A and B are shown apart, each in its own frame.
Chain A
Amino acid sequence: MNDAVNTDRWIRWLNTVQLVIAGVLIMAPTIWMVLSSFKPSFEVTAYPPTLMFSPTLENYAELTRTTPFLSYALNSLIVTVGSTALGLLFGIPAAFAVSWTRITWPAILTLAARMAPGTLFLLPWYVMFRQIGMIGSYTALILSHAVITLPIVIWVLLPSFDAIPRSVFEAAQVDGCSVTRILWRIAIPLVASGVAVSAILAFVFSWNYFLFALVLSNGDTKTLIAAAFNFIGEGSTQWGALMAAATLIALPPLVLAALVQRWLVSGLTLGAVKG
Chain B
Amino acid sequence: MASISIRNLTKRYGNFTVIPDLNLEIADHEFVVFVGPSGCGKSTLLRIIAGLEPISGGDLYIGDKRVNGVQAAQRDIAMVFQDYALYPHMRVYDNMSFALELRGTPKAEIDARVKRAAALLHIEPYLDRKPKELSGGQRQRVAMGRAIVRNPKAFLFDEPLSNLDAKLRGQVRAEIKALSQQLKTTMVFVTHDQIEAMTMADRIVVLQSGTIQQYDTPETVYERPANQFVAGFIGSPAMNFFAVEWREERAILSQGGNAVPLDGETAGRLRQAGNAVIGIRPEHFAVAADAADGIAINVKLVEPLGSDTLIHFDLAGASSIARVDPALRPKVGDRLTLRPQPGKTHLFDSTNGQVLR
Using a CB–CB cutoff of 8 Å, the interface residues on chain A facing chain B are 165, 167-168, 170-178, 181, 185-186, 189-190
Does any Cβ of A come within 8 Å of B87's Cβ? yes
A174 touches B78 (CB 8 A): yes
Complex CA–CA separation, A176 to B51 (angstroms): 11
Known: A167-B81, A167-B82, A181-B102. A173 touches B87 (CB 8 A): no
B329 contacts chain A at the CB level, 8 A cutoff: no
List of B residues within 8 angstroms of A167 by Cβ: 81-83, 85
Min CB distance A85 to B, Å, is: 23
From 267 to 289 in chain B, residues with beta carbon under 8 angstroms from any chain A beta carbon are none
Residue of B nearest to A186 (CB): B87
Does A168 contact B52, Cβ atoms closer than 8 Å? no
B77 close to A (CB within 8 Å):
yes
Q: How far is the CA of A172 from the CA of B146 in the complex (A)?
A: 11
Q: Are B87 and A174 in contact, with the CB atoms below 8 A?
A: no
B positions within 8 Å CB-CB of A: 50-52, 71-75, 77-79, 81-83, 85-89, 98-99, 102-103, 146, 150
B73 proximity list for chain A (CB < 8 A): 173-178
Task: Tell me whether A171 and B102 are in contact (CB under 8 A).
Answer: no
Q: Name the A residues within 8 Å of B146 (CB-CB).
A: 171, 175
Q: Are A173 and B72 in contact (CB under 8 A)?
A: yes
| A190/B102 contact (C-beta < 8 A), A165-B83, A167-B81, A171-B79 known | no
Residues on B with C-beta less than 8 A from A170 are: 50, 52, 72, 79, 81, 85
Chain A residue at smallest Cβ distance from B76: A176
A263 to chain B, nearest CB (A): 16
A contact patch SS: helix
Closest CB in chain A relative to B90 CB, distance in Å: 8
Contacts of B88 in A (CB 8 A): 168, 190
Q: Given A181-B102, A189-B89, A173 and B83 touching (CB < 8 A)?
A: no
Are the C-beta atoms of A190 and B89 separated by less than 8 Å? yes
Instruction: A168-B86, A170-B81, A175-B102 given; name 12 further pairs at CB < 8 Å.
Output: A165-B83, A165-B85, A167-B83, A168-B88, A171-B79, A172-B87, A174-B75, A176-B103, A177-B73, A177-B102, A181-B102, A185-B98
Docked pose: A176 CA to B147 CA in angstroms: 12
Q: How far is the CA of A181 from the CA of B102 in the complex (A)?
A: 10
In the complex, chain B residues whose CB is within 8 Å of the CB of A174: 50-52, 72-73, 75, 77-79
Contacts of A185 in B (CB 8 A): 98
Question: Could you list some 12 contacts between A and B, CB below 8 A?
Answer: A167-B85, A168-B87, A170-B81, A172-B98, A173-B51, A174-B50, A174-B52, A174-B75, A174-B77, A174-B79, A175-B98, A175-B150
**Which of A175, A177, A185 is most buried by chain B, counting CB atoms within 10 A of its CB?**
A175
The 7 closest A-B pairs by CB, nearest first: A167-B85, A175-B99, A171-B85, A173-B72, A176-B102, A167-B81, A176-B73
CB-defined contacts of A172 to chain B, threshold 8 Å: 87, 98
CB neighbours of A171 from chain B (8 A): 79, 81, 85-87, 146
**List of A residues within 8 angstroms of B99 by Cβ:** 175-176
User: B75 — which chain A residues lie within 8 A by C-beta?
Assistant: 174
Given contacts A165-B83, A167-B83, A186-B87, contact A173 B102 (CB under 8 A): no
For A189, the chain B residues whose CB sits under 8 A away are: 89
CA distance A190 to B90 in the complex (A): 10
Bound-state Cα–Cα, A176 to B74, Å: 7
Measured CA separation A181–B99 after assembly (Å): 12
CB neighbours of A175 from chain B (8 A) = 73, 98-99, 102, 146, 150
By beta carbon, the residue of chain A nearest B81 is: A167
Which A residue's beta carbon lies closest to that of B143?
Answer: A171
Which residue of chain B has its CB nearest to the CB of A190? B89
Question: CA A168 – CA B95 in complex, angstroms?
Answer: 11
* Cα distance, A173 to B89, chains bound together (Å): 17
A176 to chain B, nearest CB (A): 4
* A residues near B98, Cβ cutoff 8 Å: 172, 175, 185
A105 to B: closest C-beta gap in Å: 19
In the complex, what residue of chain B is closest to A192 when comparing beta carbons? B89
CA distance A181 to B72 in the complex (A): 14
In the complex, how many angstroms separate the beta carbon of B130 from the nearest chain A beta carbon? 12
A185 and B146 CA atoms in complex are apart in Å by 16
Q: In the assembly, what is the distance between CA of A170 and CA of B73, in Å? A: 10
Q: For the complex, what is the distance from the CA of A165 to the CA of B99, rounded to whole Å?
A: 19
**Contacts of A173 on B, CB cut-off 8 Å?**
51-52, 71-73
* Cα(A175)–Cα(B156), bound, Å: 12
Cα distance A181–B87 in the bound complex, in angstroms: 14
> How far apart are B117's CB and chain A's nearest CB, in angstroms?
14
Q: Which residue of A lies closest to B152 (CB)?
A: A174
B65 to chain A, nearest CB (A): 16
Chain A residues near B150 (CB, 8 Å)?
175
- Kindly state the separation between the CA atoms of A4 and B102 in the bound complex, as whole angstroms: 61
Distance of A175 Cα from B152 Cα, bound (Å): 10
Q: How far apart are the CA atoms of A173 and B70 in the complex, in Å?
A: 12
CA distance A170 to B89 in the complex (A): 16
A residues near B79, Cβ cutoff 8 Å: 170-171, 174
The distance in angstroms between the C-alpha atoms of A173 and B87, with both chains bound, is: 12
Distance to closest chain A CB from B108 (angstroms): 20
Which A residues touch B74, using CB under 8 A?
Answer: 176
- What A residues does B89 contact at CB under 8 A? 189-190
The residue in chain B whose Cβ has the minimal distance to the Cβ of A175 is B99
Q: In whole Å, how far is B16's beta carbon from the nearest beta carbon of chain A?
A: 18
Report the minimal beta-carbon distance from A191 to chain B, rounded to whole angstroms: 10
Output the residue of A170, A171, A178 with the most chain B CB within 10 A.
A171
- Interfacial chain A residues near B78, Cβ < 8 Å: 174
With the chains together, A170 CA to B53 CA distance in Å?
10
Shortest Cβ gap from A126 to chain B (Å) = 45
Cβ–Cβ < 8 Å partners of A181 in chain B: 102
